[in-house]
C-alpha cells in the first residue's frame, strides 16, 4: 500500500536533484520502476525506488541488488551508476538498455546458432558474477534484454538482480519464507528450501536455451503447481525429442541436458562450466569436422575430445569461414565425380563444361 506521506514518482518529477522521470514503467510490491534522464550527463537510466519504511525483506533485497551490481563490470550484466535515499525512498540508478525483452521473442524456435550465441553471452555474464560471489537467482526470459546498441558487444544483457544473493553474506532475506523465483525456471532444489547458488542460475539459463530452441517452455501447458512438481521430479522431456531432425548436435543436446538436471550434483556447477559447454556446442554447430563429437563430465570437469577442444577456442567468424568452406566442398566433390564419369564415357565436351563450372566455384 502506498504511504500517504511519500511523494509519488510521476513523469517530470526530479529525483535526488538529478534524475528527471520520463516514464513510469511499473509499480509492484510497493516498488516503482521508472525511466529517467540524468541531467548532468544527459544519459538514460532505469531508476528503481523502494519506500524506506516498506517491508524489511524487500528493502534488504533492494540494498542487496545495489551491492551485487556494484561488484560487476561485464557487458552482459547491467551497470549500476548510483544509489541512495530521496524523500523517504531508496533509489537505484542502473544503465538503461534499449532493446527487446527476450520473453517477447519467445513462441517460435530460434536458429540454434543464434540461440547459443545469445545464451553464451549470458553464460559469460554469469561466469563473471559467480566469480565475484554474486548469484542472480531469477534467470528467466523477462530478466534478459536483447540490446539494439551494437556498442555493447553482447547479444543479450541480464537485468534485475533484485533477488540476487551475495555469497558469504550473513543474511538471507528469504529465510523462513517460500522460495522466491519464477515457476518453470527456479531450480528444483530451491523448491525444497535450498539457498540459491551458481548451479541454480545455470538451471534457469538452461531452461531459457531449451525454450529458445523449441519455441516453447519444456513444460508448456501445465499449471504452475504441476510445473513445480514436474521440475522437482526431473520430468523435463529430453531436448532431442523436441528439436527438429538435423537441427541439433550431440554437444548441444549434452549442454542443455547437463544444465537442466534436477539433481544439482549432476548439473553444470556455474557460469564457467556452462560457458565451456556452450563453446563446444557452438563449435559443433558451425564446424562440420566436429559436429558429431560430444564432451564428457568427469567429476565436475568438462573433458572435450581434442578436435572439439581446439574448435571451441576459435571465434565465431573463424568457425563460419570453416563451415562455408565445407559447404562449398560438397558440390565441388559431386562436380569432380561427374567430370570423371563423363571422361570415362568419352564425353569430352561435357567434361570440359563441368571443369569450367568447377573452376568458377573455386
The mean per-residue pLDDT over the stretch 10-23 comes to: 93
Residues 6+ away with beta carbon under 8 Å from 327: none
d(CA 68, CA 48): 15
Residue 93 near residue 83 (C-beta atoms within 8 A): yes
The confidence band for 78, taking pLDDT boundaries of 50, 70 and 90, is: confident
Binned at pLDDT 50, 70 and 90, residue 174 comes out as very low
Q: Which residue has the cell 562455408?
A: 324
pLDDT digits (tens, 9 = 90+) for 204-245: 999 999 999 999 998 888 877 788 788 777 778 899 998 887
Asked if pLDDT for residue 168 goes beyond 50, the answer is no
Task: Write out the catalytic residue numbers.
Answer: 138
Match 553464451 to its residue by C-alpha cell. Answer: 120
Q: What are 322-340's pLDDT values in tens digits?
A: 777 766 654 555 556 655 6
pLDDT for position 171: 33
All domains of the chain in start order, with CATH: 14-95 (3.30.200.20), 99-314 (1.10.510.10), 325-361 (no CATH)
Q: Hey, what's the cell of 68?
A: 551485487
How far apart, in whole angstroms, are the C-alpha atoms of residue 54 and residue 180?
A: 18
pLDDT over 90 percentage in the chain? 40
Average pLDDT, the chain: 82
Residue that wins the pLDDT comparison between 332 and 95? 95
pLDDT at 115 over 60: yes
Cell numbers 559431386 correspond to 334
Residue 177 reports pLDDT greater than 50: no
Q: How far apart are CA 21 and CA 333, in angstroms?
A: 63
List pLDDT tens digits, range 267-277: 999 999 999 99
Q: What is the pLDDT of residue 148?
A: 82
Enter the pTM of the model. 0.81
Amino acid at each position: 500500500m502506498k504511504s500517504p506521506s511519500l511523494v509519488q514518482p510521476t513523469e517530470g518529477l526530479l529525483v535526488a536533484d538529478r534524475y528527471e522521470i520520463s516514464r513510469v514503467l511499473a509499480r509492484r510490491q510497493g516498488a516503482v520502476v521508472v525511466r529517467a534522464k540524468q541531467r548532468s550527463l544527459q544519459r538514460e537510466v532505469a531508476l528503481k525506488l523502494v519506500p524506506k519504511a516498506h517491508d524489511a525483506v524487500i528493502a534488504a533485497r533492494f540494498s542487496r541488488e545495489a551491492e551485487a551490481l556494484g561488484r560487476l563490470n561485464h557487458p552482459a550484466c547491467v551497470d549500476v551508476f548510483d544509489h541512495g535515499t530521496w524523500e523517504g525512498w531508496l533509489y537505484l540508478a542502473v544503465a538503461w538498455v534499449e532493446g527487446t525483452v527476450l520473453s517477447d521473442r519467445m513462441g517460435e524456435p530460434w536458429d540454434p546458432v543464434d540461440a547459443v550465441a545469445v545464451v553464451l553471452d549470458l553464460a559469460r555474464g554469469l561466469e563473471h558474477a559467480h566469480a565475484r560471489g554474486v548469484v542472480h537467482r531469477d534467470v528467466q526470459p523477462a530478466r534478459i534484454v536483447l540490446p539494439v546498441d551494437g556498442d555493447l558487444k553482447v547479444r543479450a544483457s541480464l537485468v534485475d538482480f533484485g533477488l540476487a544473493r551475495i555469497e558469504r553474506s550473513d543474511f538471507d532475506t528469504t529465510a523462513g519464507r517460500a522460495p522466491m523465483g519464477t515457476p518453470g525456471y527456479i531450480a528444483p532444489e530451491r523448491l525444497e528450501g535450498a539457498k540459491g547458488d551458481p548451479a541454480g542460475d545455470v538451471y534457469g539459463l538452461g531452461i531459457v536455451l531449451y525454450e529458445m530452441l523449441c519455441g516453447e517452455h519444456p513444460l508448456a501447458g501445465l499449471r504452475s503447481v504441476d510445473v513445480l512438481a514436474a521440475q522437482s521430479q526431473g520430468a523435463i522431456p529430453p531436448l532431442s525429442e523436441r528439436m527438429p531432425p538435423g537441427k541439433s548436435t550431440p554437444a548441444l543436446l549434452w549442454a542443455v541436458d547437463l544444465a537442466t538436471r534436477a539433481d544439482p550434483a549432476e548439473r553444470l556447477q556455474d557460469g564457467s562450466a556452462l560457458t565451456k559447454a556452450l563453446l563446444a556446442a557452438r563449435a559443433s554447430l558451425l564446424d562440420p569436422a566436429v559436429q558429431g563429437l560430444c564432451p564428457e563430465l568427469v567429476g565436475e570437469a568438462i573433458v572435450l575430445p581434442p578436435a572439439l577442444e581446439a574448435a571451441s577456442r576459435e571465434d565465431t567468424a573463424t568457425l563460419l569461414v570453416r563451415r562455408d568452406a565445407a559447404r562449398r566442398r560438397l558440390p565441388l566433390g559431386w562436380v569432380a565425380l561427374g567430370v570423371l564419369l563423363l571422361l570415362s564415357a568419352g564425353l569430352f565436351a561435357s567434361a570440359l563444361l563441368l571443369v569450367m563450372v568447377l573452376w568458377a566455384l573455386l
